[in-house]
Amino acid sequence: MTALPYLASSTGFGLRRLVHNVRYLVFALGLPLGFYLLYNAMYGRDRVGGVAFSLVLMVAMATFGAVGTTLNSAGTQTALDREAGWVRQLRLTPLPPWAYVAGQLAVAMVASLAAVCLIAVAALAVNRIAPSPAVAEGVAAVWLGSASYAAIGLALAYLLDASTVGYGALIAYLASGFLGGLWVPLSLLPPWFTTVAHLLPSFHIADMAWRLVAGRPVPLGDVGVLALYAAAFGALAAHLYRRRG
């Protein structure tokens, strides 16, 4: 068998496991959706910097959902698989070890796509906005940007173990949400929050998408920071994977 069918098997199996994990999906998809509907009901008619707040909020909550799903699929689930001996069991099969890891990343990106699309569909439906290329670009940017969190999740999975990965992922999730300026607009917070936010990939994902939905060009600074994060954590994960398997 060549490489592709292994990857397809691994991803397909991972996706089946994802949809079996109903309680998790309710939280991971429900939390950002709930926040979206709540804030939208409160401030949906406002405008921020010439853009409808509902769109700003859509980007923020899509990012929040994408961060949570990628951290869980690539991070928590991978750490649990290692602890459960499943990764060890797979070593006895013809599945190349990289195909398992790549499958986990692919599942993370599919979960992230679901989270992002859910928020986008909700935003369009609730606010009766017509889908536009700018909105589509913003949504795609959030999804692609969340690849950096898939890398972070994978690094966490190899850095931590099953008993601690949940905390690690939760801290990364909440910090990315609050400090990244996804829950409360940074303009309402003291200036040092903005300084901190610029260090977090979640801010750069949202910032990239905010600019796109406002019809502005792709901000290369955000793209650069996200690529750096993805490369750094990807390299860390690869290093730890080679040492710990």
Partner 1 sequence: MAESPEEAARVQDLGYRYGPRWALTGVDLEVRAGESLAVLGPNGAGKSTLIACMLGLLAPHRGTVSIYGTTPRAAARAGRVAGMLQGATLPQFASVLDVLRFAARLYPAPLSVERAAALTGVADLLRRPVDRLSGGQRRRVQFAMAVVSNAPFLFLDEPTEGMDIEGRADLWRIVREHAAAARERTVVFTTHDLSEADRHADRIVLLAGGRVVAVDTPGALKARLARRRVRFAAPPGVTAQLLSRRTGLAVVPCASGFEVATDDSDGALRALISLDLGLYDFRTAEGSLDEVFHALVAKESGDGVAVSGE
Q: What residues line the site for partner 1 (CB under 8 A)?
A: 1, 5-6, 9, 12-13, 16-18, 20-21, 77, 80-81, 84-86, 88-89, 91-96
> Which residues, including other chains, have CB under 8 Å from residue 128's CB and lie 6 or more apart?
none
> Which residues, including other chains, have CB under 8 Å from residue 222's CB and lie 6 or more apart?
145, 204, 205, 207, 208, 211
* Residues 31 and 61 sit within 8 Å (Cβ to Cβ): no
Nearest distance in Å: CB 10, partner 1: 8
Nearer to partner 1, 94 or 191 (CB): 94
Which residue type occupies 81?
D
Nearest distance in Å: CB 235, partner 1: 24
Nearer to partner 1, 13 or 241 (CB): 13
* Residues 55 and 137 sit within 8 Å (Cβ to Cβ): no
Nearest distance in Å: CB 104, partner 1: 11
Using CA atoms, how far residue 169 sits from 22, 135, 206, in Å, is 19, 29, 19
Nearer to partner 1, 40 or 69 (CB): 69
Nearest distance in Å: CB 20, partner 1: 4
Nearer to partner 1, 5 or 34 (CB): 5
